[in-house]
């Protein structure tokens, strides 16, 4: 069975490795350059300043590499590609070509056939996704000072979350292929199902993984307590300006130095307060594991349903 699985899927494994190699050909040199320049311009060049209060060379770094963060939007589709090209054809292609009648009437049970194929491909996909996720996390490290790695999109392309997404996408493909045993319709199911699940979790579930922290600080503040203590790398969920009784004035934040407060406030009351709701930066990996866990659990459920379904296919 191992040989058979390898023989059947070696071509797509080759294409995948080529695809990831092309990705690595971009990620590795740019990552090395970014790390080197970050070290030179920010760590050494800004020895006296903090990341919260960056120095001029930090701006050099940011203008050189700032545009790289948009590359992350492209990376969002990587798990989907696994779902389309690894998941959907796994069962659907066998049935579409009628070869399930041939392989299921040899000496092994369908259950074993399905478990072996899903197990081997799932294992291979996991390994590739872990390499991918940790690779992107390494690449993103310097950029994390420009855009928090905890924010949507950046959270989704690095660490262990993409491993969960990839397994989920493959499982959706397998289940769709067992349900509608044709490759193209199965692919057509993967697309909206994957996107819907991702959006639902990212928008509605993820902010609630842990109770967010609320920061309350006056609009007139010195450099020492400016920003209200929200660390770099936190995930800002909501930020607004309110009156002391809690009524809403405006969204955003405002910090005015005590020296020229009147001019800065421009007629606004001086007792307004900033209110920031956020997930602290040190929860990043907890959230990563929760996110990966949710999608891995969904993947296991879908694979279980698909294997049950395989026993009813004719």
Partner 1 sequence: MRGQEMEHVLEAEGLGKRYGARWALRDCALRLPTGRIAALVGPNGSGKTTLLHLAVGLLRPDAGAVRVFGETPYENTTALADIGFVAQNTPVYRDFTADELVRMGGKVNRRWDATLARTRLAQAGIPPHTPAGKLSGGQRAQVALALALAKRPRLLLLDEPVASLDPLARREFLQSLMGSVAESGTTVLLSSHILADLERSCDFLVVLQAGQVHLTGAVEDIVAAHQQLVGPRHHGEPIDGVATVVRARHTDRQSTLVVRTDGPVTDPAWTVHELSLEDLILAYLAGSDTQSNHEAWGVAA
Applying CB under 8 A, the residues found at the interface with partner 1 are 1, 3-4, 7-8, 11, 97-99, 101-111, 311, 314
Least distance CB 119 / partner 1 (angstroms):
16
Cβ(280)–Cβ(228) below 8 Å: no
Cβ(303)–Cβ(174) below 8 Å: yes
Least distance CB 113 / partner 1 (angstroms):
8
At CB < 8 A and 24+ separation, what contacts does 34-38 make?
A: 34/65, 34/68, 34/139, 34/142, 34/143, 35/141, 35/142, 37/61, 37/64, 37/65, 37/142, 38/141, 38/142, 38/145
Least distance CB 115 / partner 1 (angstroms):
14
CB nearer to partner 1: pick between 12 and 250: 12
Q: 215: which 2 tokens?
A: 């920061």
Least distance CB 151 / partner 1 (angstroms):
44
CB nearer to partner 1: pick between 98 and 252: 98
Least distance CB 3 / partner 1 (angstroms):
5
Cα–Cα–Cα angle for 12, 299, 158, rounded to 5 degrees: 70
Cα–Cα dist 253/273, whole Å: 9
């Amino acid at each position: 069975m191992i040989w058979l699985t390898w023989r059947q899927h070696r071509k797509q494994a080759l294409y995948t490795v080529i695809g990831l190699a092309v990705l690595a050909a971009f990620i590795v040199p740019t990552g090395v350059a970014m790390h080197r320049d970050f070290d030179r311009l920010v760590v050494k060049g800004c020895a006296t300043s903090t990341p919260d209060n960056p120095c001029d060379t930090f701006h050099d770094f940011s203008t050189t590499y700032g545009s790289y963060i948009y590359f992350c939007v492209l990376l969002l589709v990587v798990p989907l590609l696994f779902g389309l090209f690894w998941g959907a054809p796994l069962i659907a292609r066998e049935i579409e070509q009628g070869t399930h009648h041939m392989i299921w009437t040899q000496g092994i049970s369908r259950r074993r056939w399905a478990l072996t194929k899903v197990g081997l491909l799932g294992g291979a996909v996991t390994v590739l996704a872990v390499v991918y996720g940790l690779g992107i996390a390494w690449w993103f490290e310097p950029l994390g000072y420009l855009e928090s790695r905890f924010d949507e999109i950046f959270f989704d392309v690095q660490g262990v979350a993409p491993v969960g997404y990839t397994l989920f996408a493959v499982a959706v493909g397998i289940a769709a292929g067992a349900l509608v045993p044709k490759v193209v319709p199965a692919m057509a199911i993967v697309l909206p199902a994957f996107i819907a699940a991702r959006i639902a979790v990212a928008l509605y579930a993820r902010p609630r993984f842990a109770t967010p922290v609320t920061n309350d600080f006056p609009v007139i503040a010195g450099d020492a307590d400016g920003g209200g203590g929200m660390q770099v790398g936190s995930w800002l969920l909501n930020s607004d300006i309110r009156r002391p009784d809690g009524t809403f004035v405006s969204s955003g934040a405002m910090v005015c130095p005590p020296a020229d407060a009147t001019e800065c406030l421009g007629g606004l009351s001086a007792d307004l307060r900033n209110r920031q709701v956020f997930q602290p930066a040190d929860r990043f990996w907890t959230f990563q594991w929760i996110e990966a866990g949710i999608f891995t659990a969904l993947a296991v459920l879908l694979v279980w349903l698909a294997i049950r379904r395989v026993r009813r296919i004719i």
